[in-house]
């Protein structure tokens, strides 16, 4: 662990008495957890286990922490919510949930559709939609690659700009962000959540779960909104574009530019 990371973690752990977590003493770090944006650690005092997430502060990622905190409060009563115990200055403490990320074998099509509906039916006090086009334009300009710029322009032109359907969307409902626990699925990482088009949320889930054509048709049928379903194909291109722009900054080897170029033909 880098020295500056250790200093930040030590400062967070020193605030353990504020966490509302029934700890008997300052917790120790059990292990670092996987993650690409933030630093997350499993900590405990020998009895209680918690997850401490130290927030990334990179403004280029376009993460609105105040929006995220409000959405976490909004979803708290829902069965899929991660039990957040404390929100500190640039960190979150949540109860540790034992479970494994979902897979095609452990999470069926009907379960996916049901979870998506539950999220999309959850009221939120956040009213402003996430501006996906602005994110695309910002990230594309920062890369300054003509080929990527042409793809971005083509994909944005194909989106339905007059869509006025808005609901709470997670916007990154990948297998890594859904845990199968004893009490049911628990959804993690709400930092990109915002009101938006449910078609984009569904598209992202289809892409990250690698659903085939028949599975996609079954998911859309189970979700039960044919108007939303009509926008999913173009939303899948937008999701691939945004995730490739994101990975271009984090880990260029995980971008999917060639696939995206082929799917645009």
Domain range list for the chain: 3-95, 100-263
Judged against a pLDDT cut of 80, whether residue 158 lies above it is answered with: yes
Average confidence score pLDDT of the chain: 92
Q: What local confidence, expressed as pLDDT, does residue 60 receive?
A: 61
State pLDDT tens for residues 194-238: 999 999 999 999 999 999 999 999 999 999 999 999 999 999 999
Q: What local confidence, expressed as pLDDT, does residue 83 receive?
A: 93
Judged against a pLDDT cut of 80, whether residue 163 lies above it is answered with: no
What is the distance between the alpha carbons of residues 39 and 54, in angstroms, rounded to a whole number?
5
Query: Residue 185 in contact with residue 80, Cβ under 8 Å?
Result: yes
Mean pLDDT of 171-198: 95
What is the distance between the alpha carbons of residues 231 and 42, in angstroms, rounded to a whole number?
39
State pLDDT tens for residues 102-123: 998 889 999 999 999 999 999 9
Please, which residues have CB within 8 angstroms of residue 68's CB and are 6 or more apart in sequence?
190, 191, 193
CA–CA distances in Å: residue 261 to residues 151, 161, 231: 7, 22, 20
Burial profile 186-217: b = 16 or more Cβ within 10 angstroms, e = fewer: bbbbbbbbbbbbbbbbbbbbbbbbebeeebbe
- Residue 173: pLDDT band with limits 50, 70, 90: very high
Structure tokens at 28: 């120790």
What is the distance between the alpha carbons of residues 264 and 155, in angstroms, rounded to a whole number?
8
Instruction: Give the 3-state DSSP-derived string for the chain, with helices as H, strands as E and coil as C.
Output: CCHHHHHHHHHHHCCHHHCCCCCCCCCEEEEEECCCCCEEEEEECCCCEEEEEECCCCHHHCCCHHHHHHHHHHHCCCCCCCCEEEEECCEEEEECCCCEECCCCCCCHHHHHHHHHHHHCCCCCCCCCCCHHHHHHHHHHHHCCHHHHHHHHHHHHCCCCCCCCCEEECCCCCHHHEEEECCEEEECCCCCCEEECHHHHHHHHHHHHCCCHHHHHHHHHHHCCHHHHHHHHHHHHHHHHHHHHHHHHHCHHHCCHHHHHHHCC
What is the distance between the alpha carbons of residues 237 and 9, in angstroms, rounded to a whole number?
38
Pick the CATH number of 100-263 from 3.40.50.300, 3.90.1200.10, 2.60.40.420, 3.40.50.1970: 3.90.1200.10
Structure tokens at 256: 């999917």
State pLDDT tens for residues 18-70: 999 989 999 999 999 988 888 999 999 999 999 999 998 766 667 899 999 99
Pick the CATH number of 3-95 from 3.30.200.20, 3.30.479.30, 3.30.450.70, 3.40.50.300: 3.30.200.20
């Amino acid at each position: 662990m880098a020295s500056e990371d250790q200093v930040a973690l030590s400062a967070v752990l020193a605030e353990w008495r504020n966490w509302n977590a029934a700890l008997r003493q300052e917790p120790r770090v059990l292990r670092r957890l996987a993650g690409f944006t933030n630093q997350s650690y499993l900590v405990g005092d020998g009895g209680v286990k918690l997850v401490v997430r130290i927030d990334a502060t990179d403004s280029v990622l376009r993460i609105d922490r105040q929006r995220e905190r409000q959405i976490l409060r909004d979803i708290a009563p829902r069965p899929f919510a991660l039990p957040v115990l404390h929100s500190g200055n640039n960190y979150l403490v949540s109860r540790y949930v034992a479970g494994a990320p979902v897979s095609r074998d452990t999470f069926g099509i009907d379960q996916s559709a049901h979870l998506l509906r539950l999220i999309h039916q959850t009221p939120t006090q956040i009213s402003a939609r996430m501006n996906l086009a602005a994110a695309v334009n910002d990230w594309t300009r920062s890369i300054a690659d003509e080929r990527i710029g042409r793809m971005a322009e083509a994909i944005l032109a194909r989106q339905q700009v007059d869509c006025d359907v808005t609901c709470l969307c997670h916007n990154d409902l990948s297998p890594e962000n859904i845990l199968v626990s004893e009490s049911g699925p628990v959804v993690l990482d709400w930092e990109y959540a915002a009101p938006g088009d449910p078609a984009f949320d569904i598209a992202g889930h289809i892409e990250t779960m690698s659903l085939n054509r028949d599975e996609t048709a079954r998911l859309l049928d189970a979700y039960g909104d044919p108007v939303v379903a009509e926008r999913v194909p173009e939303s899948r291109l937008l999701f691939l574009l945004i995730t490739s722009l994101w990975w271009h900054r984090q880990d260029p080897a995980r971008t999917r530019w060639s696939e995206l170029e082929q799917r645009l033909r």
